[in-house]
Amino acid sequence: MPKPRANLLSRRGILAAGGALGLGAALAACGDDDAKSGGSDKASASGKSGPWSFKDDRGQTAKADKVPANIVAFTGVAAALFDYGIEVKGVFGPTKTKDGKADVQAGDMDISKLTILGNEYGQFNIEKYAALAPDVLISTMFDDAGTLWYVPAESKDKIAKVGAPSVGISVYDRQMTGPLERMLALAESLGADVTSAKVTKAKKRFEDAAAKLRAAAKANPDIKVLIGSASQDIFYVSGSNLSVDLEYFKALGVNIVEPPAKTLKASGGWFENLSWENVDKYDADIIMMDNRSATIQPADITKGTWKKLPAVKAGQVIPRVTEPIFSYDKCAPILEDLAAAIEKAKKVS
């Protein structure tokens, strides 16, 4: 779903293809002077506290008389908050698949308990939103213009008139650790106990996973990893800039296949479009494929050119969690799985 963010059409195109999703790393500036530890006034786990505020990655401070209870959030954000014990009332974004099951971006949430305001890009039921009496609206951002992901541009003003403050967490042009820290700070402001054994254990697991991936990449520097996404007519090859997961993988030493900058230009820097006839343009030992429900999954790709790729023939195709759920619990397995794939991979390129 990341987008070159040039216009609505290109954003939808990236949503469908998702090949170059960008997610982030460095901690965006946060916090008021009285909230340096997380950009907010601390709330107790019981929710009993005074005024609440949180300075987001747009530099805007959301405020309320009390800690928000009626939270509406982009599905992936809601899933991250759920991992910290914070439950939302409403969600927007990929939540339910066509067969009624939870989308990968819903994480561990029980989607039957959620009010889904929109399941696809461009969908956002303002009437349902208002009926929830929201205290805050939260989403991620895939650009530096402060665009809230999955909040339709054509109705954002009407959504704002409902009266709830909004919070934007940047997942653009930074490493994965940035959004993780920001989401943790946001959860803390909303009443999460970030010092609990569960959170501490998950963070330690993430740190250990990062060390494991760094070691695997160092021990296997020649293993090339290509980042792909499939649609009916196009195979997308992502560059490692802009996407938070890929920028972090690269920082840990992973040898990512990089399309030239000039070929990424048309997508705003996210990915290169290839026809299926040219899917063998780049050599790769491992192919990471976009796992989002809007894309074609490897098992369903019938193109002969795909089946002839060395990495495919060797069984070295693994999922890419293109839009991570930014909790340490959900991000640690991403690093662990990539480390294991690199350790086991045969050189086939």
178-196: pLDDT as tens digits: 999 999 999 999 999 999 9
Instruction: Kindly provide the b/e burial profile for residues 69-107, where b requires at least 16 CB atoms within 10 angstroms of the residue's own CB.
Output: bebbbbbbbbbbbbbbbbebbbbbbbbbeeeeebbbbbb
Residue 134: pLDDT above 60? Answer: yes
Residue 16: pLDDT above 90? Answer: no
Say how far apart CA 177 and CA 192 lie, in whole Å. 19
Q: What is the mean pLDDT of residues 308-314?
A: 98
The answer to whether residues 152 and 1 touch, using CB atoms and an 8 Å cutoff, is no
The alpha helices in 109-227, defined as continuous H runs, are 126-131, 156-161, 177-189, 197-219
The answer to whether residues 116 and 95 touch, using CB atoms and an 8 Å cutoff, is yes
pLDDT at position 37 is 34
Q: What is the mean pLDDT of residues 24-43?
A: 33
If one compares 50 and 77, the residue with the highest pLDDT of the two is 77
The single-letter DSSP state of residue 80 is H
- The β-bridge relationship of strands 136-141 and 166-170 is parallel
Closest to 186 in 3D by CA, of 30, 22, 348: 30
Tokens 């900058």: give the residue: 261
Neighbours of 323 (CB within 10 A): 29
Say how far apart CA 333 and CA 104 lie, in whole Å. 14
Q: Taking the CA atoms of the chain, what radius of gyration do you get in angstroms?
A: 20
- Assign 49 a pLDDT band (cuts: 50, 70, 90): low
Neighbours of 48 (CB within 10 A): 10
Closest to 43 in 3D by CA, of 80, 21, 68, 77: 68
Closest to 144 in 3D by CA, of 44, 230, 28, 50: 28
- Assign 23 a pLDDT band (cuts: 50, 70, 90): very low
Cα 28 to chain centroid distance, Å, stands at 16
Mean pLDDT of the chain: 89
211 contacts: CB under 8 Å, gap ≥ 6:
none
